Amino acid sequence: MSETLARSASQPKAKYAAGIAGGGNVVREIDHFMQGVVNRNPHETEFHQAVFEFVETVMPYYLDHRKYMDARILERMTEPDRIVSFRVTWEDDQGVPHANKGFRVQFNSSMGPYKGGLRFDPSVNASILKFLGFEQTFKNALTRLPMGGGKGGANFNPKGRSDAEIMRFCHSMMTELHRHIGESVDVPAGDIGVGAREIGYLFGKYKQLAHFYTGGVITGKGIPYGGSEIRKEATGYGVVVFTEEMLKKHGKTMNGKTVAISGSGNVAIYAVQRAMRMGAKVVTVSDSRGFAHVPNGFTDESFAVLQDVKENRRESLAKFASEARGATYHAGKSPWTVPCDVGLPCATQNEIDEQMAATMVKNGIMCLSEGANMPLTAQAIHVLKDADVIFGPAKAANAGGVGCSGLEQAQNAQRLSWTRDQVEQELERIMRSIHEQCVEYAPVRSGIVDYQTGANVSSFARVADAMLAFGYI
C-alpha cells in the first residue's frame, strides 16, 4: 500500500482510491487529497498509508458536511502541531559513547494534552511516529477522555543492552524530552521497547529535573510510584473485550473459538490471558524470529511459562516452546498460516499483507481485531472486508491501553489509587462505549458492521467539532 502510494506520487493521474466504493466525485476527492499529502510529506510511506486508510472512509461524510470543507479540516488534521527532534548521547558499559535520534510528534491537542507512547526501536523515524501520532489522535477521541494525540521515541535498540545502559539512555533521553512535556501539555507512556523498566528510568529523571513530583506527566508507571492497576494488561484485555462485543453484535461469542495471536509483548500476552478467560483456545504467539504453535491451546501452566520467558527472562519464544508442554517453535514463519476463527495481530505495523489476508480467508477466519497499530496493509483490510470478515480497526480495538492511561492520569490528579476491579470495570465500560460509537456511525454491508468506517467517522466528527470551535488556529 505505502509503496504504491509513493510510486503513484510521481504519476500525473494517481488513483489512490481505485476500487473504493462510492461515486466518482468521492474517488476524485480522495485522489486529489492524497496527492497533496504525499507532496507535502515525501517519502513518508507509513504516514501516507495511515492517512489513506482514514480518508478513504471519511471522505463521503466530509463531503456531506460543508462546515468541515469550508474550514479545510482534513488538510489541517493531517499536519501535526509540531515535531521535535534531538540528539540522545549515552555511554555503553565499555565507556564508548553513542548518539541516537529522539523525537516527539505532538500531533493534535484539540481534545486535551498530547497523549501517546514512546517507542525505542531501530525502525523509528519521522514517518512512523507521524502515522502513530495521527492514529493516536482519533483513538484517544474514541475513549471520550480529555486527551489529544502524540507519539515519540528514538531509534535506539534496547535488545541486548544491560539495565545500566538502558538507564543511561533513558536518563539522557529525558534530559531533552522534559522541556516538551507536562501533565497539562504532553503525557508520554510506553510502547514497543519501552516497558516498566524504561518508564521508571524516564520518570525518575523527569522528577529530578523538574524538582517536584507530578505523577501525571508519564503513564505506565509502577504501582509503588503512582501507576494504575492493570495498565500492563489494558491493551490486551481491551482488544479482546472489543472483539467479544463485535462477535456478540453478530450473534457469536469468543467461547470455543480458535484464536491466533501475533506478538509476545504486553499486548499479546494479556490478549492470550483474557481470551483464555472467555473460553477461547489460543494457539499461537510470535516474536521477531518466528512463532510458537500450541495446537491444543494455552493452559494456565503454558501461559505462566510464556510470562516468565518474555517478562522476566526476556528470552526468545524458542525457549518458551522448549519448556511449555505441547508447544513447537517455527523459525522464520508467520502465525497467520495457522487456521483460526479469530485473529488478533498484536506485533507491529504491516505484518499482514494482501496475500496473507487471502490465506487467512481461505483458512476460515471470521473475525480480526488489530491489537497493534496498523498491522494490516490497506489491501489486506479490503480482502478481509470483501470476504465478510468482521474487522476491528486499531484505533477502536486497541484503545484499552490509552484508555487505562487516562484512568491513571485521573487517579494521579485525585491523589487516589483505585482497586483492580474498579479499573477493570472502567476499562470495560470504555471499550463497550467505543463499540457503541462505531456501530452508531457504521454502515452495514451483507449483514456485517463496517467498524473501520464507524471508528473513523465517529472520531473524525469529535475532533473536527473541537477544531471548529477554536477557529483557525
Name residues whose C-beta falls within 8 Å of residue 134's C-beta, 6 or more positions apart in sequence: 47, 50, 51, 54, 78, 80, 107, 149
Q: List, for residues 24-56, the tens digit of each pLDDT value.
A: 799 999 999 999 999 999 999 999 999 999 999
The C-alpha cell that represents 179 in the structure block:
522541556
Helices 126-143 & 420-441 angle (0-180, nearest 10): 100
Instruction: Return the amino acid letter for 188.
Output: P
Least confident of 2-11, 114-123, 181-190, 234-243: 2-11
- Our answer to whether residue 205 is catalytic in this structure is no
Question: Has domain 82-215 been given CATH number 3.30.450.30?
Answer: no
Catalytic residue among 15, 67, 101, 151: 151
Q: How confident is the model at residue 82 (pLDDT cuts 50, 70, 90)?
A: very high
Name residues whose C-beta falls within 8 Å of residue 57's C-beta, 6 or more positions apart in sequence: 450, 452, 453, 456, 457
Is 258 within any annotated ligand binding site?
no
pLDDT above 70 (res 416): yes
pLDDT of residue 328: 98
The answer to whether 82-215 and 234-397 have equal CATH topology is yes
pLDDT of residue 13: 39
pLDDT above 60 (res 1): no
Mean pLDDT, range 381-403, rounded to an integer:
97
Give the span between the Cα atoms of 137 and 225, in whole angstroms.
Answer: 27
Is 216 within any annotated ligand binding site?
no
Is 41 within any annotated ligand binding site?
no
Is 136 within any annotated ligand binding site?
yes
So where are the chain's domains?
2-77, 82-215, 234-397
Give the span between the Cα atoms of 74 and 327, in whole angstroms.
Answer: 48
pLDDT of residue 431: 98
Sign of CA dihedral 145, 146, 151, 152: negative
Do the beta carbons of residue 402 and residue 363 sit within 8 Å?
no
Give the span between the Cα atoms of 413 and 151, in whole angstroms.
Answer: 22
Is 139 within any annotated ligand binding site?
yes
pLDDT of residue 15: 47
Domain 234-397 maps to which CATH number in 3.40.50.720, 3.40.1180.10, 3.40.50.1220, 3.40.720.10? 3.40.50.720
| Residue 209 CB neighbours (<10 A) | 13
Q: List, for residues 419-467, the tens digit of each pLDDT value.
A: 999 999 999 999 999 999 999 999 999 999 999 999 999 999 999 999 9
Give alpha helix (H) positions in 64-162: 66-70, 73-77, 126-143
Is 310 within any annotated ligand binding site?
no
Buried b (16+ CB within 10 A) or exposed e, 327-361: bebbeeebbbebebbbbbbbbbbbbbeeebbeebb
Is 235 within any annotated ligand binding site?
yes
